[in-house]
Structure 1
């Protein structure tokens, strides 16, 4: 369940419009359906779709309940980089959603995993079997997948302990003058744009380290190392220090490279295998589109 407090600026908006603008991967008609189904509450009470929210209203929104039959295995020809009886490492291509949501139950990484892997952990429920962590739809790269609940809990513990290695390659606007740096700034919901995240005083701890790989005339290629894993962390942090990701439709510049999303690739994942107590690390090369853009920038520099 998602809880949202209405701000003064949002006072007077119809609740279906208000929620459609805030809740990711939804629409006004979807929200109207949820309101009619009674899974949207305002200050503990059901309302009609034409209800106009008031400042300080507390709105609670439940996901539509999906049944197991709604999510079917699909042959998506996923690249399983590594697999044993306990864990798998899978490559998620750019443009693919990690797990199903109401109204979007096919073509996700989970649909493909259900087809290609024999077992998946069930801790996160029927919508997210095996999913230990996520990356954004338009970010490519590697993910850990748990095949049983014991492994799942162990991998989550490593994420909490900040012992998982997560290295990303990002192309950002601007030329960063220093070779390395650390961004330590809390991240939370953006009070001015509710579907976005931002650096805010009351946000959760977020730490990103970065190293410059290559500089171009107007861009910089960097390696970002996550110490924490907040929603949109790299995208928010790089914008915060003045170097937003190229192609980022939410946090980037209007005048940017012609891409289908942010130039961000989760290229390295490393963790201690829960059953073998052995550190394992996997690396995935940059997608062809990313490589092509770098080549073009090198040619122009």
Structure 2
């Protein structure tokens, strides 16, 4: 099935591989370059090279080939494991790492790393997503819980459905939020104008985000967001909806933003009941250096 994107004014003169990396969800630049090389991408009906600079009005069409049956390989990739026992693993995922394999790439993901570090992972989500209970975006850093067996997996999924899992994020957003606390209760679904994005839409799935201002800066605000639900791109979509999009967000943010590799979003707190013991477990990790450096920059700029 092919998809398409019409180049807008703000995309003018971007390299096509860079633009498609921003437009296509969970696909790396190298994977986009592979699609271009194999002529799975066309501009106005013709194949182009990775360095082609797009023009306003260009119609880009692509079709990701059906994946061949995937044999996942364990890969010795460094992982920051925050907690592990016989039932669950809590991992601090770095920004830039895809959670699980998808069409066009089967290596370098969190799943590949987990297969190397763990003897067993739950099989409920099939061979391509072993152990994966929930996910965070490629360029979002922070905490994820992973199930090591099916019993643990079912328990953690049920907790997510019952909205008892605690998930708190730090984010840098554009603009000065005028109130200290807020709740965004707005349904999320596919953007009817752009199928590569999510949006607040009538008839979408229920989505609730609570936020609290941590600090105001010159033209930006540092916030903590608490998820009540876990929709695709929820915080990114909700903050854009209230006109405070995330800094560095190539998909939902403005063109003029902070110089960052992806959105300024970090999953800092994760709490849940242990699937076997019922004990409440809570974990917290500081944002990565790039996020902290940007906060320091905003501090200096605001003096």
What residue number does 1:162 align with? 163
TM-score (norm 1): 0.81
Shift in CA distance, 30/109, structure 1 to aligned 2, threshold 3 Å: farther
Query: Map of 1:21-170 to 2, 5 A cutoff?
Result: 24=25, 25=27, 27=35, 64-67=67-70, 69=71, 71-170=72-171
Deviation at 1:62, TM superposition (A): 9.4
What residue number does 1:16 align with? 2
Deviation at 1:253, TM superposition (A): 0.8
Give unmatched runs, 5+ long, in structure 1: 1-14, 33-60
What residue number does 1:183 align with? 184
Mean Cα displacement is larger for which, 165-174 or 17-26?
A: 17-26
Name the SS for the 1:101 alignment partner: coil
Deviation at 1:19, TM superposition (A): 9.4
Deviation at 1:100, TM superposition (A): 0.7
TM-score (norm 2): 0.81
Query: 2:5, 2:81 → 1: CA distance?
Result: 37
Query: For the Cα contact (< 8 Å) 2:65–2:103, is it kept in 1?
Result: no
Deviations 1:179-222 (A, max 9, x none): 00000000000000110000000100000000000000100000
Query: 1:17, 1:226 → 2: CA distance?
Result: 31
What residue number does 1:202 align with? 203
Name the SS for the 1:237 alignment partner: helix
Query: 1:237, 1:297 → 2: CA distance?
Result: 23
Query: 1:277, 1:267 → 2: CA distance?
Result: 22
Deviation at 1:102, TM superposition (A): 2.5
- Superposition RMSD on alpha carbons, in Å? 2.2
What residue number does 1:44 align with? none
Query: For the Cα contact (< 8 Å) 2:209–2:227, is it kept in 1?
Result: yes
What residue number does 2:14 align with? none
